[in-house]
Structure 1
Amino acid sequence: MINLIIDIVLLVFLVIMAVSILHVRNLLAVSMLFGLYSLLVASVFMVLDAPDVAFTEAAVGTGIATVLMLATLAVTRVTHEKKQKRVAYIPLLIVLATGSLLLYGTHDMSNLGDGNAPAHTHIAKRFIEQGQEETGVPNLVTAVLASYRGFDTLGEVTVVLTAGFGILLLLRRNQKLRIKGVQGG
Structure 2
Amino acid sequence: MESLLDLILMIFLLIMALAILHTRHLLAMAMLFGLYSFLMAGLFLLMDAPDVAFTEAAVGAGISTVLMIVTLAVTGIHRERPGRIHWPALFVVMLTGGLLLAGLSQLPAVGDPASPATLGVARHYVEHAAEETGVPNLVTAVLASYRGFDTLGEVVVVFTAGLGVLLLLGLDRRKPRIRKRARKEGGDSETRPAA
Q: What is the TM-score with the length of structure 1 in the denominator?
A: 0.79
Structure 2 counterpart of 1:153: 151
Aligned-pair distance for 1:51? 1.1
Assess, with a 3 A threshold, how the Cα gap between structure 1 residues 91 and 153 changes in structure 2: closer, same or farther.
Answer: farther
Assess, with a 3 A threshold, how the Cα gap between structure 1 residues 79 and 40 changes in structure 2: closer, same or farther.
Answer: same
Residue identity in the other structure for 1:76: T
Match of 1:6, SS state, is: helix
Aligned-pair distance for 1:132? 6.6
Aligned-pair distance for 1:165? 4.1
Residue identity in the other structure for 1:137: T
Structure 1 counterpart of 2:76: 77
- Seq. identity, %: 51
Structure 2 residues without counterparts, runs of 5 or longer:
183-187, 191-195
Aligned-pair distance for 1:154? 4.8
In 2, Cα distance between equivalents of 1:55 and 1:157: 14
Aligned-pair distance for 1:80? 2.1
Aligned-residue RMSD, C-alpha: 2.7
- Taking the TM superposition and a 5 Å limit, the aligned residue runs for 1:1-185 are 2-84=1-83, 86-131=84-129, 137-139=133-135, 140-150=138-148, 152-154=150-152, 156-179=154-177, 183=182, 184=188, 185=190
Count residues in correspondence. Answer: 181
Structure 1 residues without counterparts, runs of 5 or longer:
none
Aligned-pair distance for 1:175? 2.3
Aligned-pair distance for 1:148? 3.7
Q: Contact (CA 8 Å) 2:26, 2:81: kept in 1 or not?
A: no
In 1, Cα distance between equivalents of 2:20 and 2:176: 29
Structure having the larger proportion of residues in helix: 1
Aligned-pair distance for 1:50? 0.7
In 2, Cα distance between equivalents of 1:91 and 1:152: 32
Match of 2:173, SS state, is: helix
Cα deviations by residue, 1:60-86 (Å, 9 ceiling, x for unpaired)? 2112222222222221121123315x4
Q: What is the TM-score with the length of structure 2 in the denominator?
A: 0.75
Cα deviations by residue, 1:65-114 (Å, 9 ceiling, x for unpaired)? 22222222221121123315x43233223323333333333332221122
Cα deviations by residue, 1:98-145 (Å, 9 ceiling, x for unpaired)? 333333333322211223323234422212345478xx6322544421
Q: Contact (CA 8 Å) 2:25, 2:81: kept in 1 or not?
A: no
Aligned-pair distance for 1:45? 0.4
Match of 1:25, SS state, is: coil
In 2, Cα distance between equivalents of 1:147 and 1:91: 41
Q: Contact (CA 8 Å) 2:25, 2:78: kept in 1 or not?
A: yes
Deviates more, 1:30-39 or 1:155-164: 155-164
In 1, Cα distance between equivalents of 2:24 and 2:167: 23
